[in-house]
């Protein structure tokens, strides 16, 4: 376990940088800070005992090629100048009433480190501003994704009890909408060898085999944010058919969208959608301030929730460079214990040992389980 101890602020020859958040925004920033400086020490703090943010709790389980970015982050963690403080919530205690680990106010962190980078992502789900949005059976994608990825906050979610045929509507035309559609449509064989939460795996298996999934968006194909790769994956699922109504595609065409759609990636996407529609029945963002001059942001908390894991590289480099510049012109008592990188390695080992046949790991969906595993030998 990692004990957080208070340390007097001092301008040492080895500056200490705290990065809040262990997702891509945080880890890429740590990577460039460590690479571009010979003496900076980086501590990544995260509210969960386990690292990697949405790579663990957002990216779909059947996208292991995306999740493999964790290997790069593991490499960053091998630096002697790196440490991890997991299960530490940074912010006001009132914002984390159920958090059982240390809570460190941001101001304290700024007194304790020479620089602080906030890379906390975009945690709040957008509210569906429609009558009935609160009804039973309406689930936010943030919760659904967190549930199938074993995020502790959402581990108690339950799918509505449907016996005959699942009829569902997904609102939104982004890649996350297609992740949700794919997970709902996928046969168990598709998810068997993934790190999907076992409870979700079993609940999805119990759904009736007849599943009708509508994916609706407010505008046309040109504006749809999903990529061709994601929509193609829907055509590759066994025993599932992607049905696109050509009339729906045309209904979204306006003079302006036809012009906008001439850009090459959009053209390619439209061609794919046109082809798929012809198959009968388808086919199976605080900046620089005076005392807070040392506070920087990285990742989604800086740019907003757009882009893929790799999109976080450019601004992580920019943030790391700005921090090093700040440093070129200061631990944490009484906060309690968080998890260290060695603790994460133990949790990792237990998750791997508990994996279903062929699956990479069986993720804990409760913090107590993670902490017990962290104590295992
Ligand atoms: C459902 C979904 C699927 C996605 N699929 C893909 C994909 O297939 N391919 C792809 O390239 N990209 C995908 N993305 C995008 C990718 O996940 C993001 O680009 C990336 O995770 C953003 O990184 P980040 O570090 O800014 O935020 P996050 O990954 O959210 O990391 C933020 C971290 O900060 C921690 N944190 C938050 N608040 C606090 C606090 N107060 N104190 C301490 N810690 C805190 C969180 O626990 C978390 O670990 C997906 C995103 C979502 C939502």
Task: Please state the domain extents for the chain.
Answer: 2-123+286-375, 141-278
pLDDT at 1: 60
Q: Which of 146, 129, 150 is nearest to 180 (CA)?
A: 146
pLDDT at 3: 60
CB of residue 312 inside a 6 A radius of ligand 1: yes
- State the burial class of residue 238 (Cβ atoms within 10 Å of its Cβ: 0-12, 13-18, 19+): exposed
CB of residue 48 inside a 6 A radius of ligand 1: yes
Helix 341-353 / helix 367-375 crossing angle, nearest 10 deg: 100
Q: 141-278: which CATH number, 3.40.1180.10, 3.50.50.60, 3.90.660.10, 1.20.1270.360?
A: 3.50.50.60
Residues 6+ apart with CB under 8 A from 322: 296
Nearest CA to ligand 1 atom 7: 59
CA of residue 262 to ligand 1 center, whole Å: 32
Nearest CA to ligand 1 atom 9: 308
* Mutational pocket test of ligand 1: of 110, 120, 344, the residue with most ligand atoms within 8 Å of the beta carbon: 120
Residue numbers of the chain with a pLDDT score lower than 70: 1-13, 280-286, 288-293, 329-335
Nearest CA to ligand 1 atom 30: 121
End-to-end CA distance of the chain: 12
Phi and psi, residue 4, nearest 5°: -90, 120
Residues 6+ apart with CB under 8 A from 152: 48, 364, 365, 366, 367
CATH architecture of 2-123+286-375: 3-Layer(aba) Sandwich (3.40)
CB of residue 309 inside a 6 A radius of ligand 1: yes
pLDDT at 164: 86
Helix (H, G, I), strand (E, B) or coil at 283: strand
CA of residue 9 to ligand 1 center, whole Å: 31
Same fold, 2-123+286-375 and 141-278: no
Region for residue 356 given its phi and psi (left: phi exceeds 0; alpha: psi -120 to 50; beta: otherwise): beta
pLDDT at 8: 40
Encode pLDDT of 115-127 as tens digits: 999 999 998 888 8
Nearest CA to ligand 1 atom 6: 59
CB of residue 49 inside a 6 A radius of ligand 1: no
Residue given tokens 């409870």 in the structure block: 199
pLDDT at 256: 86
């Amino acid at each position: 376990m990692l004990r957080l101890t208070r340390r007097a602020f001092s301008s040492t020859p080895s500056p200490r940088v705290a990065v809040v958040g262990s997702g891509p925004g945080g880890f890429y920033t740590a990577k460039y800070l460590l690479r571009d400086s010979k003496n900076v020490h980086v501590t990544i703090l995260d509210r969960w005992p386990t690292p990697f943010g949405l790579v663990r709790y957002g990216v779909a389980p059947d996208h292991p090629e995306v999740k493999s970015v964790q290997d790069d982050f593991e490499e960053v963690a091998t630096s002697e100048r790196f440490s991890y403080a997991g299960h530490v919530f940074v912010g006001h205690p009132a914002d984390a009433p159920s958090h059982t680990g240390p809570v460190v106010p941001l101001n304290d962190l700024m007194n304790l480190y020479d620089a602080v980078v906030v890379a906390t992502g975009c945690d709040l789900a957008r509210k569906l501003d429609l009558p009935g949005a609160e009804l039973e059976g309406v689930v936010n994608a943030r919760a659904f994704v967190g549930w199938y990825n074993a995020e502790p906050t959402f581990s108690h979610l339950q799918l509505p009890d449907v016996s005959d045929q699942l009829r569902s509507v997904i609102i939104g035309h982004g890649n996350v909408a297609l992740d949700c559609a794919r997970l709902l449509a996928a046969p168990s064989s598709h998810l068997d060898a993934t790190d999907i939460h076992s409870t979700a795996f079993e609940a999805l298996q119990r759904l009736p085999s007849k599943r009708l999934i509508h994916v609706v968006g407010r505008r046309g194909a040109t504006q749809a944010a999903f990529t061709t790769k994601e929509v193609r994956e829907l055509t590759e699922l066994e025993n599932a058919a992607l049905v696109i109504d050509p009339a729906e595609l045309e209904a979204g065409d306006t003079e302006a969208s036809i012009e906008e759609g001439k850009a090459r990636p959009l053209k390619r996407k439209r061609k794919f959608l046109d082809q798929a529609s012809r198959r009968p029945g388808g086919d199976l963002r605080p900046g620089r301030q005076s005392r807070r001059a040392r506070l920087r942001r990285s990742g989604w908390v800086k740019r907003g929730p757009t882009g893929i894991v790799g999109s976080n590289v450019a601004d992580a480099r920019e943030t790391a460079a700005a921090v090093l510049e700040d440093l070129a012109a200061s631990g944490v008592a009484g906060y309690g214990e968080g998890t260290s990188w060695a603790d994460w390695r133990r949790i990792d080992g237990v998750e791997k040992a508990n994996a279903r046949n062929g699956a990479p790991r069986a993720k804990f969906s409760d913090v107590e389980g993670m902490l017990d595993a962290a104590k295992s030998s």
